[in-house]
Amino acid sequence: MLPSATGALFGVLLVVMLAGATNYGNNLAFTLTFWLAAAALVSMHRAHRNLAGIELAAVTAEPVFAGQTAVFHVEITSRARLPRRGLALSGGATRTGRPLTVARDHAASAAVHAPTIGRGRLACSRLTITSRYPMGLFRCWSHASPTAHILVYPTPVDRLGRPVSNHTTGDGRAVDTHSGDATFAGHRRFQSGDSLRRIDWKASARTDDLLITEQNNSRAPAPWFDYAALGVLAPEARLSQLAFWVVEAEAAGHAYGLKLPRATLGPARGPAHRRACLEALALF
């Protein structure tokens, strides 16, 4: 705990008031000076008490790509009977824009921003909880060092265009790398043995016959994104290219596989597969 800039100015004012009261022997000036000094002393104890019972409840964050700003969402709670007011949370170069008020058994949240440069794990910086309540004359603070971290994915950068497909897992075993959806190919008359689920009732209502829906299973091979096939690029550039292909394939709804020297993922698609591929690239 240290006096704030306002507190230091307030202390100088008290010294000047005390000197004036002593010079003129004015009892009212002495009373006002000592009353203000007592208020400052009480303010010091209240600022310290305002941090009592504060706990760091949780620190969460979502993965980001390198170059983006990571956001750690911090929740603090209080075990104290009275609300804790005017709290400020900071981490690194980030400081909460508005004072936080934490009531008993309730959580207050704030966002701590951290810049990212390279891929990998990014740990949350040391957090500082500060109180200037109630008069702003003293600054009381406490530190917390959470163990939370965030994964930073490689920056998606396209340098080679379309990927080269590879249909083996790398150990000589062929894999089913096909993906795609069946397409409509017309109707034909219902025959004995056909499934009733394939009857197109709307089309049949316009004719005197039951019509069966015919489909073509046009299936295209799912691409493999292979780290070893990108020998023309530097290691980090390879990871950026693979990240770009993963993001683009997922956005298009295509199945895809990822081959790294120590891991093979897919082929598959969906948020879970995308996350697993990007995590593998981040931790490569």
Residue 279 identity (one-letter amino acid):
E
Ordered by start, the domain boundaries in the chain are: 1-153, 183-216, 220-282
CA 1 – CA 248 distance, rounded (Å): 52
Torsional sign, CA 177, 181, 185, 191: positive
Q: Residue 29, Cβ neighbours under 10 Å: how many?
A: 17
Average pLDDT over residues 136-143: 90
Q: Tell me what pLDDT residue 172 has.
A: 35
Do the Cβ atoms of 167 and 175 come closer than 8 Å?
A: yes
What are the φ and ψ backbone dihedral angles of 159, each rounded to 5 degrees? Answer: -120, -20
Question: For residues 151 and 128, what is the distance between their CA atoms, to the nearest angstrom?
Answer: 23
Topology (CATH) of 1-153 = Immunoglobulin-like (2.60.40)
Q: What is the rounded distance in angstroms from the CA atom of residue 130 to the CA atom of residue 114?
A: 19
Query: With 70 as the cut, is the pLDDT of residue 167 above it?
Result: no
| H/E element, 202 | helix 201-204
Over the stretch 187-211, which tens digit does the pLDDT of each residue have?
677 777 677 777 877 777 777 777 7
Q: Where are the beta strands (DSSP E) in 50-182?
A: 54-61, 64-65, 69-78, 84-91, 94-95, 100-102, 107-115, 120-123, 127-131, 138-144, 149-153, 178-179
> Whole-structure pTM over 0.85, yes or no?
no
A 10 A CB-CB count for 47 gives: 25
Q: Please compute the mean of the pLDDT values over residues 94-109 and round it to a whole number.
A: 78
- Token digits of residue 241: 């290219």
Question: Residue 65 to residues 82, 241, 258, 264: CA-CA distances in angstroms?
Answer: 42, 13, 18, 22
Q: From the centroid of its chain, how far is CA 158?
A: 24
Closest by alpha carbon to 154, among 223, 241, 96? 241
**How far apart are alpha carbons 197 and 145 in whole angstroms?**
60
Q: What are phi and psi of 149, to 5 degrees?
A: -145, 170
3-state secondary structure of 159: coil
Contact between 266 and 258 under an 8 Å Cβ cutoff? The reply is: yes
Nearest to 157 by CA among 258, 259, 233: 233
- Confidence band of 170 (pLDDT split at 50, 70, 90): very low
- What count of other Cβ atoms lies within 10 Å of the Cβ of residue 46? 16
Average pLDDT, the chain: 82
pLDDT computed for residue 93 by the predictor: 58
Share of the chain above pLDDT 90, in %: 31
pLDDT for 216 equals 54
Tokens encoding 220: 């295209």
